[in-house]
């Protein structure tokens, strides 16, 4: 990155341009293997510098705790009970696409941190809610980057955990169970507090959703999961949200790059359906995991505390009574003995 101390405006401009070129080259090296033959779509993308002529970010709206700085868009700070959102305002017209997100999740917590962030392709946008900052009963695709395991009952994965869910607006995302009852697929990825740049790529091509990650800084993309037979219409919006609760983390979006990907619709015999009227649906969702009733005591922690204190007092009084009583008894016995003799 350039550092310049000259007051020359010309040199400043040259340096800025060189900086952008080097940044672009770095990013370019990272995404070469993932972008396939797609056409870059600037209107759905977010790259530095984020701001347009004023404080606005062209084609993007943000809300909640989200703060746009020079180098990142911070959805939540490393503070409790925050919700942040970032939504693109342009309906997606292509039915095959790829979205590549450069993100960072980091914070002071060593063993306790959360809750997570999500990438969206949904009909609704800008509605705050309980699904990692977004509304529940969403319509479309959600990809969750869940850092805190709320899980209840058996599941066999570690956190951070990336999973995806397709919803037609009728299914509840069960946050307390990490959404595992409604997910299509998922994988564990150690992306938090990474010293390297961390990327996630989501593609929807020929009705296939594929999620890949790159977190090692060596251009080593790994497939998280692939799900076939997924229906998603055009006309939805890309977005990102994040939430913290009792536990917290910084959830940062550094860039979003969207590509229009070719498919088989150019083939002579291919009859394109009306992509805009398709209902969101996933054929291969995982079979639901049984809900397990939370094991909870019949008394609140406060009640347990009060009962414990009362028991201790009773115990102490009992001991004092026993000691004093015993002492009095011995004295009494000694007095009787004296009288006897
Ligand atoms: Ca969680």
Q: In CATH, what number is assigned to the domain containing residue 277? A: 2.60.120.200
How far apart are the C-alpha atoms of 5 and 27, rounded to whole Å? 26
Tokens of 145: 């980057």
Q: What is the pLDDT of residue 164?
A: 97
CB under 8 Å to 226, separation ≥6 — which residues? 185, 208, 209, 210, 211
Report CA(23)–ligand 1 centroid distance (Å): 33
Report CA(285)–ligand 1 centroid distance (Å): 19
Report CA(144)–ligand 1 centroid distance (Å): 9
CB under 8 Å to 204, separation ≥6 — which residues? 95, 96, 97, 98, 121, 141, 230, 232
Q: Which residues surround ligand 1, an ion (CB under 5 A)?
A: 146, 148, 150, 178
CB under 8 Å to 318, separation ≥6 — which residues? none
Q: What is the pLDDT of residue 31?
A: 54
Q: What is the pLDDT of residue 150?
A: 85
CB under 8 Å to 263, separation ≥6 — which residues? 95, 96, 205, 206
| Domain-located, residue 209 | yes
How far apart are the C-alpha atoms of 1 and 163, rounded to whole Å? 35
Report CA(170)–ligand 1 centroid distance (Å): 21
| Domain-located, residue 323 | no
Binned average pLDDT, 10 residues per bin, the chain of 341 residues: 35 38 43 64 97 87 96 97 98 96 97 95 97 98 94 74 96 87 93 97 96 93 96 98 97 98 70 89 65 48 67 87 80 68 50
| Domain-located, residue 3 | no
Q: Could you say which DSSP state residue 268 is in?
A: T
Report CA(27)–ligand 1 centroid distance (Å): 30
| Domain-located, residue 322 | no
Report CA(306)–ligand 1 centroid distance (Å): 32
Report CA(125)–ligand 1 centroid distance (Å): 22
216 is in which domain, residue-wise?
Answer: 37-282
Report CA(160)–ligand 1 centroid distance (Å): 9
Report CA(109)–ligand 1 centroid distance (Å): 15
Report CA(281)–ligand 1 centroid distance (Å): 23
Report CA(199)–ligand 1 centroid distance (Å): 20
| Domain-located, residue 14 | no
Report CA(176)–ligand 1 centroid distance (Å): 7
| Domain-located, residue 80 | yes
Report CA(132)–ligand 1 centroid distance (Å): 8
Report CA(322)–ligand 1 centroid distance (Å): 53
Please say whether the beta carbons of 240 and 72 come within 8 A.
no
Report CA(155)–ligand 1 centroid distance (Å): 12
Helix (H, G, I), strand (E, B) or coil at 45: coil
Q: Match 């701001």 to its residue by tokens.
A: 51
| Domain-located, residue 237 | yes
Report CA(301)–ligand 1 centroid distance (Å): 24
Report CA(83)–ligand 1 centroid distance (Å): 14
C-alpha distances out from residue 298 to 292, 295, 303, 304, Å? 17, 10, 10, 10
Report CA(4)–ligand 1 centroid distance (Å): 44
C-alpha distances out from residue 276 to 96, 124, 261, 281, Å? 12, 15, 17, 14
Q: What is the pLDDT of residue 38?
A: 81
Q: What is the domain count for the chain?
A: 1
| Domain-located, residue 28 | no
């Amino acid at each position: 990155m350039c550092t310049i101390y000259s007051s020359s405006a010309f040199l400043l401009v040259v340096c800025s341009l060189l900086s952008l070129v080097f940044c672009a080259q770095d990013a370019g090296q990272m995404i070469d293997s993932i972008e396939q033959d797609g056409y870059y779509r600037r209107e759905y993308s977010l790259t530095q510098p984020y701001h347009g002529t004023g404080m606005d970010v062209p084609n993007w709206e943000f809300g909640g705790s989200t703060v746009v700085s020079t180098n990142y868009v911070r959805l939540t700070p490393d503070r409790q009970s925050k919700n942040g959102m970032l939504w693109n305002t342009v309906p997606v017209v292509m039915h095959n696409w790829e979205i590549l997100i450069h993100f960072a999740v980091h914070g002071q917590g060593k063993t306790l941190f959360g809750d997570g962030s999500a990438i969206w392709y949904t009909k609704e946008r800008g509605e705050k809610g309980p699904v990692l900052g977004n509304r529940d009963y969403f319509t479309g695709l959600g990809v969750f980057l869940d850092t805190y395991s709320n899980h209840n009952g058996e599941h066999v994965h570690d956190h951070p955990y990336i999973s995806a869910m397709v919803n037609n607006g009728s299914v509840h995302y069960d946050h307390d169970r990490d959404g595992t009852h409604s997910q299509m697929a998922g994988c564990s990825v150690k992306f938090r507090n990474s010293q390297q740049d961390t990327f996630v790529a989501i593609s929807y091509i020929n009705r296939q959703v594929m999620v890949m990650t790159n977190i090692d800084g060596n251009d080593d993309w790994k497939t998280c999961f692939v799900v076939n037979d997924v229906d998603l219409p055009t006309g939805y919006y890309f977005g990102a949200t994040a939430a913290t609760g009792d536990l917290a983390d910084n959830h940062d979006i550094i860039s979003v790059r969207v590509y229009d990907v070719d498919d088989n619709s150019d083939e002579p015999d291919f009859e394109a359906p009306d992509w805009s009227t398709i209902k969101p649906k996933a054929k291969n969702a995982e079979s639901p995991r049984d809900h397990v009733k939370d094991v909870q005591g019949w008394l609140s922690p406060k009640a347990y505390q009060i009962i414990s204190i009362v028991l201790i007092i009773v115990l102490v009084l009992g001991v004092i009574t026993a000691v004093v009583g015993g002492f009095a008894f011995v004295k009494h016995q000694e007095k009787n003995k004296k009288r006897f003799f």
